[in-house]
Structure 1
Amino acid sequence: MEQNPILEQLEEYSNNLEKEIAVLQEKRCISYKPLLESLKKQYAFAHFLMYQESVFDTMPQGYKTLLSKALSDVLVIHSTVTIGCVTQSYNIVRSLFETYANLMYINKNFEANMKYYEDYTIFAQYHKLEEHKNDPDYKYDPYFIQFKNRTEGPLQEKYSFIENNYKERKDWYFIPLSEDIKNHPDLTDQENMNMVGLRIPLFVFLEKKLR
């Protein structure tokens, strides 16, 4: 059977493109070699502490979740830079910094803020369940109905204790951080208003507090 000439051209083009991409990736890997080596060492060190030495085993689950997320982010950044997608790694870098800011803020008042962070899962799950109950794509699905029947009661009970600690469509730290901003002695009234109005004022607040 005769092969389509268009497909033959496409195969040749694809093979050449693959070689060009490989050359480009190799060049970028060389330029970012120090960064890649540093990321690899940081990942190995953190992985060793978490999974070999179990240093964080006694920490709350929420704290371990944040650390695990940060560890995954470092690995993803290493992978994207390795294949030459440097710009694409910026979003992951942002995610890594946000995790760092979350951990810093939790450490300011560990027990109280850790509880805010962990209980937010209940708040988010409750509102997601309520949203899906009114969504025709979910509410008639037998798996969702089974999930709803199993979880709705216990979730509602837990939610009733924490519902006033959060705001819908706001981050877990919105209420405690708003209070911290209002009570911060070095912030003017105008700065208070500006910062509380921001969606993610955590970096700005921590920078002010750590001066």
Structure 2
Amino acid sequence: MTENPFLQEFLPYNENLIKAIDVTIQNGQDENKDTLYYLRGYYIFVNFLVDEKNVFNDMPEGFKVLLSKASLDLFAVYSTISSGCINQSLAIVRSLFESSVYLTYINRDFDKLLYLYQNHKDFLAYHKWNQDKELLNFTKAHEAAIAKKYESIKNNYKKRGPWYEYPLLEDMKNHDSYKDIKKKRATFKAMCVITGNEELYNRLYVTMSESVHGSSLTGSLFKNEKDHISMAPNFSPFYINTTAAFAIAFLHNMVTVGLKNQIDKGHTEYSSYLSYSEKYSNLLIDKGTKNKG
């Protein structure tokens, strides 16, 4: 036994808290086992489509990047709420919402807008290289390739603007919410308005952003049953069901866009996957919307 006074006090506390955390997490997972099961199951379903059935193999790289990111975001939501870290999961759901809105917007003119999304990385790479040439120390061949690609796409983007700057501004000109505004800005909020996601932006995205930036608005997530601030994991079924429902709804929307594009190209056999995706996701969406807390 150590003679250090601090360790004499801390080590027993450490051991007891580790045991308590393990019990709390196990009990929380047991209480929410159905939601966690279905949430993880949808992640596995998307992996089945991608890895086992090669459903999206002939889709453009940009789509596959968005879907892969969103699928891992869903698994990250599963991982965080499985540990009782609800507030932390909100930042990931926010990212899922962004990806879902991006793909919804891209689907308005799929090939054209996906090209802009996909090639924006080369536009950014050129400006990064141009800014940090000595630090990056690329080979002459690599530099030439970057410059060549940049020349073919440079007029599609604004240097400090998002990938959707020019097409979104054009869409805003004809939209009732923006056509009378002289100085228009291509913002993510504007994209939400254009795609019919304005209500979700105002009611959900803004709140999740407050959570990401450490607002006191989310303080209720850190209170225990005695209304005291607590660092203990939170396994509130209301918050877990609601968070899971939004996460799966956003990924389901992206899977739907991909499957419908493939079906339109002649892959009618994928219709059963679309039907299953809708039924599976509705299990959690219904659970989240009906939950009264």
Same-fold status (TM-score > 0.5): yes
Post-superposition Cα deviations, 1:130-173, rounded to whole Å, max 9, x if no partner, equal: 2223xxxxx2x5xx31x253421111111112112112332211
Work out whether residues 80 and 86 of structure 1, in 8 Å CA contact, stay in contact via their aligned partners in 2: yes
Where 1:207 maps in the other structure, the secondary structure is: coil
Q: Are residues 1:63 and 2:53 paired?
A: no
Q: Which amino acid is the alignment partner of residue 163 of structure 1?
A: K
Post-superposition Cα deviations, 1:159-195, rounded to whole Å, max 9, x if no partner, equal: 11211211233221111111111133x345346756x
**Stretches of structure 1 lacking an aligned partner (at least 5 in a row):** 134-138
Aligned pairs (5 A) from 1:27-66: 27-66=27-66
Q: How far apart, CA to CA, are the structure 2 residues paired with 1:89 and 1:192? A: 38
Post-superposition Cα deviations, 1:92-148, rounded to whole Å, max 9, x if no partner, equal: 001111111111111110111111011101011111112223xxxxx2x5xx31x25
Match of 1:154 in 2: 145
Q: How far apart, CA to CA, are the structure 2 residues paired with 1:35 and 1:169? A: 41
Higher RCO structure (Cα 8 Å, ≥6 apart): 2
Change in 2 beyond 3 A, CA 1:176/1:115: same
TM norm structure 1:
0.83
Q: How far apart, CA to CA, are the structure 1 residues paired with 2:179 and 2:126? A: 35
Give me the identity figure in percent. Answer: 37
Where 2:84 maps in the other structure, the secondary structure is: coil
Aligned pairs (5 A) from 1:92-111: 92-111=92-111
Q: Are residues 1:183 and 2:162 paired?
A: no
Q: How far apart, CA to CA, are the structure 2 residues paired with 1:70 and 1:157? A: 31
Q: Which amino acid is the alignment partner of residue 129 of structure 1?
A: W
Q: How far apart, CA to CA, are the structure 1 residues paired with 2:183 and 2:177? A: 10
Match of 1:123 in 2: 123
Change in 2 beyond 3 A, CA 1:105/1:34: same
Q: How far apart, CA to CA, are the structure 2 residues paired with 1:131 and 1:66? A: 27
Where 1:201 maps in the other structure, the secondary structure is: helix
Q: Are residues 1:203 and 2:197 paired?
A: no
Q: Which amino acid is the alignment partner of residue 158 of structure 2?
A: K
Match of 2:271 in 1: none
Q: 2:157 aligns with which of 161, 166, 189?
A: 166
Change in 2 beyond 3 A, CA 1:176/1:82: same
Q: How far apart, CA to CA, are the structure 2 residues paired with 1:67 and 1:197? A: 24
Once structures 1 and 2 are overlaid, which stretch shifts more, 8-17 or 95-104? Answer: 8-17
Number of equivalent positions: 198
Where 1:56 maps in the other structure, the secondary structure is: coil
Match of 1:136 in 2: none
Work out whether residues 39 and 78 of structure 2, in 8 Å CA contact, stay in contact via their aligned partners in 1: yes
**Stretches of structure 2 lacking an aligned partner (at least 5 in a row):** 199-293
Post-superposition Cα deviations, 1:42-72, rounded to whole Å, max 9, x if no partner, equal: 1111111011000000101111111111110
Q: How far apart, CA to CA, are the structure 1 residues paired with 2:141 and 2:84? A: 46
Aligned residues: CA RMSD: 2.4
Q: How far apart, CA to CA, are the structure 2 residues paired with 1:59 and 1:174? A: 24
Shift of 1:32: 3.6
Q: How far apart, CA to CA, are the structure 2 residues paired with 1:192 and 1:35? A: 47
Change in 2 beyond 3 A, CA 1:97/1:117: same
Aligned pairs (5 A) from 1:61-100: 61-100=61-100
Q: Which amino acid is the alignment partner of residue 104 of structure 2?
A: M
Match of 2:22 in 1: 22
Q: Which amino acid is the alignment partner of residue 168 of structure 1?
A: K
Work out whether residues 129 and 148 of structure 1, in 8 Å CA contact, stay in contact via their aligned partners in 2: no
